Amino acid sequence: MKKRVLLLLLVVLSIATTNAQLTIEDVIHGGKTFYNYYPRALNVNFKGDANQLVIQRNDSVFVQSFNSDAETFAFDIKWLNEVLEKEGYGELRRLPRLTWDSATQFAFTGKDGFYTINQPSGKVELFVGRDSKGANFDLNKRSKTVAYTVGNDLYLKSENDETVLVAGNEGNDIIFGHTVHRNEFGINKGTFWSPDGSAIAFYREDNSMVSDYPLVNVEERVAKVENIKYPMAGMASHEVTVGVYNVTSKKTIYLKTGAPKDRFFTNVCWTPDNKFILIAELNRGQNHMQLKKYDAATGEYVSTLFEEKDDRWTEPQHPALFIPGKNGDFIWQSQKDGFNHLYIYSSNGQLKKQLTKGNWEVTNVLGFDKANKFIFIESTKEEALERHVYKVSLASGKMTRVTSEAGVHRVKISKDGRYALTTFSSLNVPSKTKLNDTRGKTIRTLQVVENPYKGIETGKVELLKLKTKDGQFDLNARMVLPVDFDATKKYPVIVYVYGGPHSQMVQNRWLGGVRGWQLYMAQKGYIAFTLDNRGTSYRGKEFAQAIHRQLGQPEVEDQMQGIEYLKSLSYVDAERIGVHGWSYGGFMTVSMMTQHPEVFKVGAAGGPVIDWKYYEIMYGERYMDMPDENPQGYEQANLNLKVKDLKGRLLVIHGAIDPVVVWQHSLTFARECVKNRVQIDYFAYPRHEHNVRGKDRIHLMEKVTRYFDDFL
């Protein structure tokens, strides 16, 4: 208990020393100063299958029963280190994230390896060591073996510390066991254990045909080129295959995926019987997906379970999810009816039924209940700005809402499917955590987080609904009014824009999802505005795909609806409108300034896409097709052809070793500006990649702030 008092004291002190104004260090993550203003939700989990809650607080673990606030101290870092020391394992400095497999067993990953420990006995149930040079660790508890990569090579290490090189030594261009296809199509790993741990599938990516992009390290004694492989739109793509390593026979076969070799091999998974591998294969044009089945022992192609085509694009993002004990039936997610929904297929690819339906989207699948009668999903069913969790009957499709209050929920379901830990925030609720049953009833409120800005003056945040120009869609927007807002005055506006696919900046979450920097600018007297245009996510396929082959057009049209709204407000100074964005938002910033030069006085574009032909294949061609297939679209979006339209002050910023939006984008833009005698301002962050991270982010946002202060 002593410890807890000390902690409270520290919190009080840190609030007491803050003055009533936000500084830039206050609002920018990564700075030296601790970020005080984030509502910190309780770290609470179900304690395995016990009807208990386990709370991690600093380096201690406490247990609560479901129906009482009273908590019991279970153990702390000291106890855990004693356990580890006894077995000869390395000491931990902080209590790691613990995963409770059962009421008496938790797992965690330490620097040295992967642990499963019994509590209270302190017995180490499992330890598999961790290679300090390794990456991409993938532990299989059944076989007590971890897969991992060192450089381009793939290894296995088992409980007895035996290490096997699965695949490797094919030079710099051939990479094993890493994520492929630039993490598009939901891909975020490169190894796939069979359920029983007897075999592991892995990606092999051949980059030998992909052009090098030079990144220059100026901190070497003599500036040094560090090439990356970067497959640009319309050019040669890398070639991926899938190997399968049998742990017993120690043999590897490759799935016979055949030609053309520049297809995308996505959402790899095993069938529950450990015999087959399913791959959602996508053509280079990304408009034709085939879910193919391969024999994991021989690599032979078995069948195509089903396929999906789309006039614009189809984008599988989730592997087949097998329903336990249902004979190979699996859940498949698809946007084919216009919104992302769940479908149940039989093991041979027969569609059994569409499980969810409506003008809303499934945004996440949380899993099944113990009896496998229900599936838990997160969705936009109530409202696209919110996230609620539902229990869906696999038999009837009937949906029961688990979460209650309006807002964006994150939910953990108990193993038996009967309880839910729900944490949510909404515009005016920083964070609230409750224990519910999965019929939607609240059992107990565990935590209500106080406004972290208490004592600080912050501008009022409003959520708005505007319309697309044609009236077809609502557009969600967020506005922060200046501190001490006076409707009889006129204020300058800074639009913060992202606007690209797979994003949603505006939600009914704490302060509408506002960025700290926007609060900071509101404090300085700016109105901070953000709108989610067509092309962004969770609004259905038509909304998302309106941008196809014409990036920058519908997005800017929608942003201008926001501008028209702003101009209609008596307190907006229409002569002082600025815009700032990064990456796709950089592309948007320059597009808005060149398409509507009369509107924007100042812009700050970071890491901007300038010409989509310099962008990579997987993301770029999905939206734009190849340059040869869509010359008009590429020309229309090519900001290098628009420099003469620029009127306002524009600051372009780029990380000089950006491996995503390569530096060539903004350097060719600067070049075109020079050729056309157009003045822009420019800044490069020499050792930063696609984002300026860490403490240098303060420098970045100070620069952007200063630019608006100087010129808006």
Binding site for a copy of itself (CB under 8 A): 211-214, 216, 218-219, 221-225, 230, 232, 235, 613, 656, 662-664, 667-668, 670-671, 673-675, 677, 679, 681-687, 695-696, 698-699, 702-703, 706, 710
CB atoms within 10 A of CB 693: 14
Separation of alpha carbons 516 and 27, rounded Å: 5
Select 395 or 674, whichever has its Cβ closest to a copy of itself.
Answer: 674
Q: Which of 334, 414, 537, 583 is catalytic?
A: 583
Nearest to 119 by CA among 62, 190, 35, 176: 62
Residues 6+ positions from 712 with CB-CB distance below 8 Å: 492, 494, 526, 576, 578, 601, 602
Q: How far is the CB of 314 from a copy of itself (least distance, A)?
A: 29
DSSP 487-541: TTS-EEEEEEE---SS-----SSGGGG--HHHHHHHHTT-EEEEE--BTBSSS-H
Select 35 or 683, whichever has its Cβ closest to a copy of itself.
Answer: 683
Separation of alpha carbons 330 and 347, rounded Å: 7
Q: How far is the CB of 658 from a copy of itself (least distance, A)?
A: 12
Q: Which of 346, 690, 696, 699 is catalytic?
A: 690
Q: How far is the CB of 237 from a copy of itself (least distance, A)?
A: 14
Q: How far is the CB of 335 from a copy of itself (least distance, A)?
A: 33
Nearest to 256 by CA among 266, 268, 243, 273: 243
Phi/psi-derived region of residue 151, left when phi > 0, alpha when psi is between -120 and 50, beta in every other case: left
Q: How far is the CB of 592 from a copy of itself (least distance, A)?
A: 22
Residue 602 burial (C-beta neighbours within 10 Å; 0-12, 13-18, 19+): buried
Q: How far is CA 27 from CA 23, 507, 514, 518, 701, in A?
A: 7, 19, 11, 9, 10
Q: How far is the CB of 17 from a copy of itself (least distance, A)?
A: 21
| CB 326, CB 320: distance < 8 Å | no
DSSP 261-314: TT-EEEEEEE-TTSSEEEEEEE-TTSSEEEEEEEETTT--EEEEEEEEE-SS--
Told to judge if 690 belongs to the known catalytic residues of this protein, a careful annotator would answer yes
Is residue 340 classed as helix, strand or coil in its secondary structure? Answer: coil
Residues 6+ positions from 221 with CB-CB distance below 8 Å: none
Q: How far is the CB of 357 from a copy of itself (least distance, A)?
A: 45
Q: How far is the CB of 158 from a copy of itself (least distance, A)?
A: 43
Separation of alpha carbons 300 and 672, rounded Å: 52
Within 13 Å of residue 423, how many CA atoms lie on the same side as its CB? 14
Select 361 or 658, whichever has its Cβ closest to a copy of itself.
Answer: 658
* Angle of helix 584-595 versus helix 553-568 axis, rounded to 10: 70
Separation of alpha carbons 586 and 700, rounded Å: 14
Select 171 or 214, whichever has its Cβ closest to a copy of itself.
Answer: 214
Select 341 or 654, whichever has its Cβ closest to a copy of itself.
Answer: 654
Select 624 or 670, whichever has its Cβ closest to a copy of itself.
Answer: 670
Q: How far is the CB of 685 from a copy of itself (least distance, A)?
A: 6
Residues 6+ positions from 294 with CB-CB distance below 8 Å: 242, 255, 256, 257, 276, 277, 278, 279, 300, 301, 302
Nearest to 389 by CA among 412, 415, 368, 359: 412
Select 312 or 576, whichever has its Cβ closest to a copy of itself.
Answer: 576
The helix/strand count (H/E) of the chain reads as: 11, 43
Separation of alpha carbons 183 and 201, rounded Å: 17
Q: In angstroms, what is the C-alpha Rg of the chain?
A: 27
Nearest to 315 by CA among 181, 430, 405: 181
Told to judge if 583 belongs to the known catalytic residues of this protein, a careful annotator would answer yes
Backbone angles phi, psi at 198, to 5 degrees: -85, -15
Nearest to 152 by CA among 175, 179, 136: 175
Q: Which of 658, 665, 666, 688 is catalytic?
A: 658
Select 85 or 710, whichever has its Cβ closest to a copy of itself.
Answer: 710
Select 211 or 359, whichever has its Cβ closest to a copy of itself.
Answer: 211
Told to judge if 502 belongs to the known catalytic residues of this protein, a careful annotator would answer no
Select 114 or 615, whichever has its Cβ closest to a copy of itself.
Answer: 615
What is the distance, to the nearest Å, from the Cα of residue 34 to the centroid of all Cα atoms in its chain? 23
Q: How far is the CB of 641 from a copy of itself (least distance, A)?
A: 15
| CB 36, CB 26: distance < 8 Å | yes
DSSP 6-59: HHHHHHHHHHHT--SS--HHHHSTTSSS--TTS-----EEE-TTSSEEEEEETT
Residues 6+ positions from 220 with CB-CB distance below 8 Å: none
Separation of alpha carbons 429 and 461, rounded Å: 12
Separation of alpha carbons 132 and 672, rounded Å: 47
What are the beta bridge partners of residue 323? none
Q: How far is the CB of 676 from a copy of itself (least distance, A)?
A: 9
Select 82 or 628, whichever has its Cβ closest to a copy of itself.
Answer: 628
Select 224 or 353, whichever has its Cβ closest to a copy of itself.
Answer: 224
Q: How far is the CB of 688 from a copy of itself (least distance, A)?
A: 8
Select 224 or 439, whichever has its Cβ closest to a copy of itself.
Answer: 224
Q: How far is the CB of 225 from a copy of itself (least distance, A)?
A: 5
What are the beta bridge partners of residue 431? 449
Active site residues: 583, 658, 690
